[in-house]
Amino acid sequence: MNTVIEQRPDRLPMSIACQALRLNRSSVYARRHRTNNPPSKRSRKATVQPRALSEQECAHVIETLHRDAYRDQPPAEVYHRLLEEDKYVCSISTMHRLLRKQGENGERRRQRPAQHHAIPRLLAYAPNEVWSWDITKLPLNRRGIYLSLYVVLDLFSRYAVAWMISKKENSALSKQLMSEAIARYRITPGQLTVHQDRGSPMTAHGYLENMMELDVTCSHSRPRVSNDNPFSESQFKTQKYQPDYPGRFDSISHARQWCEEYFQWYNFKHHHSGLSGFTPEQVFTGRSHEVAMQKQKTLDARFKQNPERFVRGRPSVKLPPEFVAINPVAIENTANDSMSDRVNFPTLTAAGYVSGK
């Protein structure tokens, strides 16, 4: 651009020169104008504004704001009070500016400090290492009446280890549910981590104290982050998108009957996409390897019979993932870290959950 401005011959039109160099003529003219008319070095702050308040007037405004009647009030409140008293010293924004210059413009009331919640990072290599649970609402035919469905999943296998329907949602039911589930699956102290959101049944002191007694580690989602508990949320979607889901239930007995049939199907007959087509029960009990061998035998027989139909070669059965994680850390960020550094299990001890029918 400087070449066009400084070295362009007078006989060469500016439009042709800019076209040859693929420059915008407006940009060239703007650059030439700035070159010929450099901006003044005088700062705007150093310029005396003719409408600005004098030093005496500024001092009067500060003195007014410091009076006992106004010292605990915001500028807007002071401004309107003065107007009611037939007084005007300056605008609200000017009051803020003068207070800011004095270092007195800011929140003086006690404020709750910003909360910083650690990202929950959970990893399961086997069943009964991590459970995830949540509560959803089941509407009744009567408008405004809902039932509470408690469901806990084993993170590794997605197996619904326990569920319960209640007319209430409180920590007492959570305590009972967790205690029964831990006893049913013979969870040893220190073995289990339970992940949940921050609903009142999950954060109540009685619930957490009970989980501490059971020596079960408790993990919580961050506030307003639904993705921190994705497996429970996904299970609820699977449930409520079933073709026979009634939408609204006649009674609590109707809801229990339907849920009993649903969880029987979900655990034993639902070929879960996240488990490579195996059912939660097959992965939870370890039968997935046996079933995989049977599937592979069937594929081998069909491949031997019609190999030309398998354009990518001999098919193989894909096994379930070796581990399941919530909020896994990207591999490139943890290449030099140990596994203990990559997995952040919260330290608060808490509990699991049970099935109640």
User: pLDDT, tens digit, for every residue of 117-156?
Assistant: 889 999 999 999 999 999 999 999 998 999 999 999 999 9
Could you give the 3-state DSSP secondary structure of residue 164? Answer: strand
pLDDT of residue 296: 94
pLDDT of residue 225: 86
CA distance 270 to 158: 11
What tokens were used for 93?
């924004």
Alpha helix ranges (H) inside the chain = 2-7, 14-21, 25-36, 55-65, 75-84, 92-101, 171-184, 200-203, 205-214, 230-240, 252-268, 280-285, 288-305, 339-342
- Assess whether pLDDT exceeds 80 at residue 348: no
Residues in the chain: 357
Tell me whether residue 254 is exposed, middle or buried, using C-beta atoms within 10 angstroms of its C-beta: 0 to 12, 13 to 18, 19 or more: middle
Tell me whether residue 158 is exposed, middle or buried, using C-beta atoms within 10 angstroms of its C-beta: 0 to 12, 13 to 18, 19 or more: buried
pLDDT of residue 331: 53
CA distance 61 to 88: 10
pLDDT of residue 335: 46
pLDDT of residue 41: 62
- CA 13-14-19 angle, to 5 degrees, is 105
Confidence of residue 51 (pLDDT cuts 50, 70, 90): confident
pLDDT of residue 90: 94
pLDDT of residue 356: 39
Q: Are 86 and 92 in contact (CB under 8 A)?
A: no
- What is the SS3 assignment for 166-190? ECCCCHHHHHHHHHHHHHHCCCCCC
- Assess whether pLDDT exceeds 90 at residue 256: yes
Q: What is the pLDDT of residues 182-234, one digit of tens each?
A: 999 999 999 999 999 999 999 999 999 999 999 999 999 998 887 899 999 99
CA distance 184 to 205: 24
Query: Which range has the top average pLDDT, 11-15, 104-108, 152-156?
Result: 152-156
Beta-bridge partner residues of 249: 140
- Assess whether pLDDT exceeds 60 at residue 352: no
Summarize the confidence of residues 102-110 as an average pLDDT: 83
What tokens were used for 225?
């982050």
Closest by CA to 223, choosing from 313, 307, 115, is: 115
Residue 321 CB neighbours (<10 A): 14
Residue 147 CB neighbours (<10 A): 21
- Assess whether pLDDT exceeds 50 at residue 357: no
Closest by CA to 131, choosing from 209, 206, 245, 214, is: 214
Phi, psi (5° rounding) for residue 166? -145, 160
Amino acid at residue number 317: V
Percent of all residues in the chain with a pLDDT value above 90, rounded to a whole number: 68
Summarize the confidence of residues 272-284 as an average pLDDT: 95
DSSP 199-237: -HHHH-HHHHHHHHHHT-EEEEPPTT-GGGSHHHHHHHH
Higher local confidence (pLDDT), 76 or 20? 76
Instruction: Name the average pLDDT for the chain.
Output: 87
Computed from CA positions of residues 309, 312, 314, 318, in that sequence, does the dihedral angle turn out positive or negative? negative
Could you give the 3-state DSSP secondary structure of residue 317? Answer: coil
Q: Are 272 and 279 in contact (CB under 8 A)?
A: yes
Q: What is the pLDDT of residues 322-346, one digit of tens each?
A: 999 999 887 545 444 444 333 333 3
CA distance 313 to 216: 47
